[in-house]
Amino acid sequence: MAETTKREVVTGNVIAISSLIFFILLIIHNFIVLDATTVKTLLSLAGQKTTTNSVNQVLNSFRFDGVMYLLAYLSGVIAYWNRHPYLWWFMFAVYISNAFFTLVNLYMVVQAILDVKSVIAILPILIVVIGSLILAAYMLVVSIKRKSTFNR
């Protein structure tokens, strides 16, 4: 078994800590910031009817997707103990897909949050999206430069 280097351990810890932070921020965004009033404002900004049923449908959709990404980000904590190449590429896919998925309607969601809440309420999702893009870029550079995963 190959000896782990300090560089490999540090890279695994960065992924694990970042994933845990993103996990906590996504909980705040999905279950505190996104509520019925925010979704109602989002629907009205989009020119849609704001019935109770439509608000609940959109809120459930956001939360269902959010829970899937919460579990995916939480799996990044495994990088503390196990730095398998499959975990590396799975987390890369999670970071990229969540960032791009969120960027699709980020402007409208941010506008709705700003209309109902304060500027502080948009910070969790912005930190997650920007952090995910930065971490994915770092992971891609490491993979190309080292021709391996976890900075080996």
pLDDT tier at 94 (50, 70, 90 boundaries)? very high
Query: What was the pLDDT predicted at 1?
Result: 43
Query: What was the pLDDT predicted at 3?
Result: 65
Q: How far apart are CA 74 and CA 103, in angstroms?
A: 21
Q: How far apart are CA 67 and CA 61, in angstroms?
A: 10
- What mean pLDDT comes out for the span 103-121? 94
pLDDT tier at 24 (50, 70, 90 boundaries)? very high
Of the two residues 138 and 149, the one the predictor is more confident about is 138
Phi, psi of 5 (to 5 degrees): -95, 165
- What mean pLDDT comes out for the span 102-107? 92
> In whole numbers, what is the pLDDT of the chain averaged over residues?
91
Residue 54 predicted with pLDDT over 60: yes
